[in-house]
């Protein structure tokens, strides 16, 4: 089956849930931060072609409902390249949302803090990214129905959306920082030497997701907003060993604030 046909089949299945213009991807430990009214949901396994997550903290569910009257799609959990999924499958949901009519994509994640001054629990808007996955989701035949062969990546994370996020955060009394996110393949955490190199290259945050989805979304013409929850300080910055349990615990601890931000912000995107 050709990829566009696979995308169309999944979009047809999801269209039964509703017609949202905004989609939100909720990362590690964040699946419950954005409740929907009048929700209809499908598990990843019920959507043709959707890959199923295997990592703790990723529910694997797509729901459509309303937030203050605005139709919104929420993806609870994601799959990662390190799980063995090819990038074409990692970004498959994003491409389906584009065909469904979504025009704005909010990507959330859990990350390690690299930059001096970042602390566990900080919420950080992504201003740019570095792709160190060793692959690109656009590699291979171009899907002309979605976007051009050589899409511009000058501004992956929309400047206007970031300004709106800062405005809403200030109204809520929340602090939002900004930073550059570097994606590594994983699943091993980074070494202290790697973190020193990443800092020298301009990275403020490090994680194992988001970048492929952002690239695919921009290829398809979607506006993208990225929000990272710093769940731990990266290797060599933190004196403690890194663990996935710490990532989930910190994500859940900051879930209430992120939920407040998204609930107020998403209807205004």
Spot the catalytic one: 3, 244, 246, 249: 244
**Catalytic site includes residue 15:** no
**Catalytic site includes residue 251:** no
Spot the catalytic one: 28, 109, 228, 251: 28
Distance, in Å, from the CA atom of 20 to the CA atom of 36, rounded to the nearest integer, reads 12
Spot the catalytic one: 3, 4, 41, 82: 82
Residue 65 DSSP label: E
Spot the catalytic one: 208, 214, 255, 264: 208
**Catalytic site includes residue 58:** yes
Strand positions, DSSP E, 97-169: 104-113, 123-132
Q: At what angle do helices 159-172 and 255-265 cross, to 10 degrees?
A: 120
**Phi/psi-derived region of residue 163, left when phi > 0, alpha when psi is between -120 and 50, beta in every other case:** alpha
Spot the catalytic one: 31, 111, 209, 251: 209
Q: Which two tokens stand for residue 223?
A: 């506006």
Per DSSP, helices labelled H in 173-254 are 192-200, 211-219, 244-253
**Catalytic site includes residue 209:** yes
Spot the catalytic one: 23, 58, 190, 255: 58
CA angle 138, 142, 143 (to 5 degrees): 105
**Catalytic site includes residue 181:** no
**Catalytic site includes residue 116:** no
**Catalytic site includes residue 157:** no
**Catalytic site includes residue 208:** yes
Spot the catalytic one: 61, 83, 190, 213: 83
Spot the catalytic one: 10, 110, 165, 255: 110
Q: At what angle do helices 244-253 and 255-265 cross, to 10 degrees?
A: 50
So which residues are the catalytic ones? 28, 58, 80, 82-83, 110, 208-209, 232, 244
């Amino acid at each position: 089956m050709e990829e566009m046909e696979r995308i169309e089949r999944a979009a047809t299945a999801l269209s039964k849930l509703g017609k949202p213009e905004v989609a939100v991807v909720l990362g590690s430990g964040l699946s419950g931060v954005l409740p929907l009214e009048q929700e209809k949901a499908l598990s990843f396994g019920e959507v043709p072609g959707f890959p199923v997550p295997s990592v703790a903290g990723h529910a694997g569910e797509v729901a459509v409902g309303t937030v203050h009257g605005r139709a919104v799609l929420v993806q609870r959990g994601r799959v990662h390249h390190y799980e063995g999924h090819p990038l074409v499958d990692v970004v498959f949901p994003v491409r389906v949302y584009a065909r469904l009519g979504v025009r704005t994509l909010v990507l959330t994640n859990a990350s390690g803090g690299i930059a001096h001054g970042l602390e566990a629990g900080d919420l950080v808007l992504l201003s740019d990214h570095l792709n160190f996955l060793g692959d690109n989701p656009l590699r291979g035949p171009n899907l002309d129905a979605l976007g051009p062969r050589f899409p511009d990546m000058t501004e992956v994370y929309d400047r206007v959306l970031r300004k709106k996020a800062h405005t809403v955060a200030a109204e809520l009394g929340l602090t939002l920082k900004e930073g550059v996110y570097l994606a590594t393949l994983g699943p091993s955490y980074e070494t202290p030497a790697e973190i020193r190199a990443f800092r020298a290259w301009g990275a403020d945050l490090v994680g194992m997701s988001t970048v492929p989805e952002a690239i695919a979304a921009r290829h398809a013409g979607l506006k993208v907003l990225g929000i990272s929850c710093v769940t731990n300080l990266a290797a060599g910055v933190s004196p403690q060993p890194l663990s996935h349990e710490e990532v989930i615990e910190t994500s859940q601890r900051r879930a209430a604030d992120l939920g407040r931000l998204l609930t107020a912000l998403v209807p205004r995107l």
